[in-house]
Amino acid sequence: MKVGIVGAGMVGSSAGYAIALMGIASSVIFVDRNADLARAQAEDISHAVPFMSSCMVYAGDYGDLKGASVVILAAGVSQKPGETRLQLLGRNAAVFREVVAEVLRVAPNAILLIASNPVDIMTQITVRLSGLPASRVIGSGTILDTARFRSLLGRHLQISPQSVHAYVLGEHGDSEVLAWSNARAGSEPLLSIAAQMGLPLTDDVKAEIDDGVRNAAYKIINGKGATYYGIGAGLARIVKSIAQDQQDVLSVSIVTEHVAGVDDVALSIPRVVGAGGVSADLMPTLDDAEKEALHRSAALLKTAIEAVEI
């Protein structure tokens, strides 16, 4: 499978690195308005491939995306310390007006995988610009926040994060909702596991985990200027589900007709992902506070997209 990546910066290159090393694509092509950067990233990553897998990695222009099954859009600006994701909207919408048209011209049948922030709104903008069905325009959404939640829960409970089944819903951003009430480790509710392990999930522990998930990006950006390894692996995970038609349940963002009392808005809930993109939505059972928080997150995103003229 051929995977295109538009935007060869920190996020695009980390995704390309993960995809190449995981051996889930036959080729990865980088396109960036900075052609020297795209070439350098492709060359550097191609030197890692012989150690791990088999994948052609090169740089090109939009014409080279012809035949791509998936195109990742990671172009645009990223947050500076103190900036929110929503503050990037105007600048990244302008980038997408140019980029989406170029991609569609050569790869009209590709599934588009959106990374640029604010990712939920950029996903909805991409559906408007492309006219593609919502199921084929997938925002990475809260796949990263869900990984952060599982990582912190696993660390507290001393259990592998891969054995923690918990999701972050709603906006990939400040209003996101950690779904505690249905989270499990193994087959047991979290509270039961916490008691059995002698590691109670007190209100203080839950508040610390909430802060660690919700504010992870701000902390990492303060420390090193950008986040990229986590989302690079998350994007590769979505590409794997598509490439291998896995029907995995992943928290990703697509434009959804009715969700949490709001119509026609892109946000994350667990969804089934395979070769055709998203094939089903799996709305979790939530408690009243989580339902209300998800409604607020959806309404915030709806207000933001309504202000975008595309």
Ligand X SMILES: NC(=O)C1=CN([C@@H]2O[C@H](COP(=O)(O)OP(=O)(O)OC[C@H]3O[C@@H](n4cnc5c(N)ncnc54)[C@H](O)[C@@H]3O)[C@@H](O)[C@H]2O)C=CC1
Round to whole Å and give the CA distance between 193 and 199: 8
CB of 263 to ligand PYR, least distance (A): 26
| 79 annotated as belonging to a binding site for a ligand | yes
Instruction: Consult the annotation and say whether 120 binds a ligand.
Output: yes
**Does the annotation list 44 as a binding residue?**
no
CA gap 261, 110 in Å, rounded: 31
Q: For residue 112, what is the enclosing H or E element?
A: strand 111-114
Binding status of residue 273 toward ligand PYR by CB under 6 A = no
Q: How far apart are CA 212 and CA 221, in angstroms?
A: 13
In terms of CB distance, is 10 or 29 closer to ligand X?
Answer: 10
Dist. CA 135–CA 123, nearest whole Å: 11
Q: Does 301 bind ligand PYR (CB under 6 A)?
A: no
DSSP letters along 259-271, please? Answer: ETTEEEEEEEEEE
Q: For residues 72-131, which are near ligand PYR according to CB under 6 A?
A: 79, 85, 117
Residue placing its CB nearer to ligand PYR in the complex, 41 or 117 = 117
Backbone angles phi, psi at 182, to 5 degrees: -115, 10
Number of residues forming the site for ligand PYR (CB under 6 A) = 6
Nearer to ligand X, 253 or 256 (CB): 253
Closest CB to ligand X among residues 76, 277: 76
Nearest residue to ligand X, scored by beta-carbon proximity:
9
3-state secondary structure of 163: helix
Helices (H), 67-142: 89-106, 119-130
156 a catalytic residue: no
Q: Of ligand PYR, ligand X, none, which one does residue 88 interact with (CB within 5 to 8 Å by kind)? A: ligand X
In DSSP terms, 184 is beta-bridged to 165, 189
Q: In the complex, which residues of this chain contact ligand X (CB under 6 A)? A: 6-12, 32-34, 37, 74-79, 88, 92, 95, 98-99, 115-117, 119, 140, 144, 172, 226-228, 231
Instruction: State the pairing for strand pair 248-259/262-274.
Output: antiparallel
**Does residue 217 belong to the site contacting ligand PYR (CB under 6 A)?**
yes
Q: What's the helix, strand, coil split of the chain in %, to 5?
A: 50, 20, 30
The entry of ligand X, ligand PYR, none near residue 25 (CB within 5 to 8 angstroms by kind) is none
Q: Which H helix or E strand runs over 27?
A: strand 27-31
108 assigned to a ligand binding site: no
Nearer to ligand PYR, 62 or 96 (CB): 96
Active site residues: 172
Binding site as annotated, residues: 7-12, 32, 62, 76-77, 79, 85, 92, 115-120, 140, 145-148, 150, 165, 227
